[in-house]
């Protein structure tokens, strides 16, 4: 097999996973990244990252295969066994891992720990990392190669994987358009230190002002997620920690204990989907191809599914940059990603309003859904495995 040269632009969670997965196939892989990290320092640090992901079982299996999950199990990691959604108490839709014979539904893990655990695999597979602070200035392609231009510096490969995020420079430079919109609300994430034992249930409550969610990290830490109007959250950011804590208590009455507010951040919400996932020898993965409402924490899981699908299609291929292969990858992933994006939007728009007849319907729906037996378990298996089978 021709070894093939692959350049992955972007060394975040999805980009790093792509690099390791393709290097395991015997490819010559280089990662181009603007912000280099010290993986050893991150994995040994006591500093807790406010950015976390709900890693489902599909993603856990991938991280195991890539050698990252064993490192994560030695670090801060929080398996959760239950996932609950409700509008008000008594109308709860509860998913429990034991209903489908599993020990857990997934893990809540800090993003920088996932990234660092993957970067630790780079040396094992001789993955080169290049720090590139400049913006890309051009992309040129021939029949059998693709070249990235950063001013006077050039990098040539058989395939370039764009994993450079929702504002992907490569996607823009390649002329790949997107369809999407900004949601009217913003989201506040809050890192807290919780005075309670280890929690095994993550939950979301749908309120008229937007969803709120409790994400239990490894005790004593947890993450609170609050959707609200952008102007309201902008005002909240100006509050003292004591004032903000009072606001959060009003929005999170079911917390299992008192808490200390450690850090908070606000970010806008957007849905975005690339019209094409590839252009000749350039292919998109993760947020460069699709950004999703973070309502159920599915963003990185969809990205990891992209990684597996792309690697499976490229396996044993003598030329990884063939357009026909990349179009096969797009066909496989585009529909699945669009389905999940639409499901999240249906939940978001269906529950985030004060229309009284719709509120009654939501109440009945949650009660009914909690008692549907096989159908409920099918949804749960889909959520944790990322597949419809």
* CB of 85 closer than 8 Å to CB of 139: no
- CB burial readout 41-74, b (16+ within 10 A) else e: ebbeeeebbbebbbbbbbbbebbeebbbbebbee
Which stretches does DSSP call E strand in the chain? Answer: 5-9, 28-33, 52-56, 78-80, 82-86, 92-96, 106-110, 128-131, 138-141, 146-150, 153-157, 159-162, 178-194, 201-207, 210-216, 221-229, 259-274, 278-279, 282-284, 290-291
Element (H, E) at 22: helix 13-24
How far does CA 356 lie from the centroid of its chain?
33
How are strands ordered across the β-sheet holding 106-110? 52-56, 106-110, 78-80
Beta-bridged to residue 189, according to DSSP, are 225, 265
What is the rounded CA–CA span in Å between residue 246 and residue 240? 10
DSSP 49: P
SS3 37: coil
What is the rounded CA–CA span in Å between residue 355 and residue 122? 52
Domains of the chain: 5-78+108-180+271-349 (3.50.50.60)
Q: What does the pLDDT profile of the chain (389 residues) look like in tens digits? A: 457 999 999 999 999 999 999 999 999 999 999 999 999 999 999 999 999 999 999 999 999 999 999 999 999 999 999 999 887 776 788 889 998 889 999 999 999 999 999 999 999 999 999 999 999 999 999 999 999 999 999 999 999 999 999 999 999 999 999 998 788 789 999 999 999 999 999 998 888 888 899 999 999 999 999 999 999 999 999 999 999 999 999 999 889 999 999 999 999 988 899 999 999 999 999 999 999 877 666 789 999 999 999 999 999 999 999 999 999 999 999 998 988 887 776 666 555 555 444 454 445 444 455 555 555 565 566 666 665 44
What is the rounded CA–CA span in Å between residue 346 and residue 351? 8
What is the rounded CA–CA span in Å between residue 340 and residue 295? 11
Residue written as token pair 């015997």: 26
Residue written as token pair 């720990």: 113
What is the rounded CA–CA span in Å between residue 187 and residue 86? 19
Q: Whose CA is closest to 105, among 135, 158, 163, 60?
A: 60
What is the rounded CA–CA span in Å between residue 128 and residue 5? 11
pTM of structure: 0.91
């Amino acid at each position: 097999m021709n070894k093939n040269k692959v350049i992955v632009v972007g060394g975040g969670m999805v980009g790093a996973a792509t690099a390791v997965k393709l290097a395991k196939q015997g490819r010559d892989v280089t990662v181009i990244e603007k912000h280099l990290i010290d993986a050893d320092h991150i994995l040994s640090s006591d500093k807790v990252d406010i950015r976390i992901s709900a890693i489902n079982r599909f993603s856990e299996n991938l991280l195991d295969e890539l050698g990252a999950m064993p490192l994560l199990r030695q670090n801060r990691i929080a398996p959760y066994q239950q996932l609950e959604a409700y509008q008000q108490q008594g109308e709860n839709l509860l998913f429990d891992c034991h209903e489908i014979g599993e020990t857990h539904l997934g893990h809540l893990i800090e993003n920088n720990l996932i990234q660092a655990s993957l970067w630790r695999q780079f040396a094992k597979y001789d993955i080169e990392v290049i720090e590139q602070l400049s913006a890309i200035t051009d992309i040129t392609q021939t029949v059998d190669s693709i070249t990235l231009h950063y001013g006077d510096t050039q990098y040539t490969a058989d395939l370039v994987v764009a994993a450079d995020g929702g504002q992907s420079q490569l996607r823009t430079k390649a002329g790949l358009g997107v369809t999407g919109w900004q949601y009217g609300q913003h989201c506040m994430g809050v890192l807290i230190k919780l005075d309670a034992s280890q929690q095994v249930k993550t939950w979301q409550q749908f309120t008229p002002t937007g969803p709120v969610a409790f994400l239990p990290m490894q005790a004593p830490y947890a993450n609170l997620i609050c959707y609200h109007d952008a102007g309201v959250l902008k005002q909240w950011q100006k509050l003292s920690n004591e004032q903000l804590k009072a606001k959060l208590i009003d929005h999170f009455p079911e917390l299992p204990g008192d808490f200390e507010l450690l850090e908070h951040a606000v970010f806008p919400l957007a849905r975005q989907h690339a019209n094409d996932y590839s252009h000749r020898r350039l292919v998109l993965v993760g947020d460069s191809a699709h950004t999703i409402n973070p309502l159920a924490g599915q963003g990185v899981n969809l990205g990891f599914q992209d990684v597996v699908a792309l690697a499976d299609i490229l396996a044993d291929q003598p030329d990884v940059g063939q357009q026909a292969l990349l179009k096969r990858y797009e066909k496989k992933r585009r529909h699945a990603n669009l389905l999940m994006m639409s499901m999240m939007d249906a939940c978001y728009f269906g529950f985030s309003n004060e229309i009284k007849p719709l509120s009654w319907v939501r109440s009945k729906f949650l009660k009914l859904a909690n008692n549907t037996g096989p159908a409920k378990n099918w949804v749960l298996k889909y959520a944790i495995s990322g597949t419809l089978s």
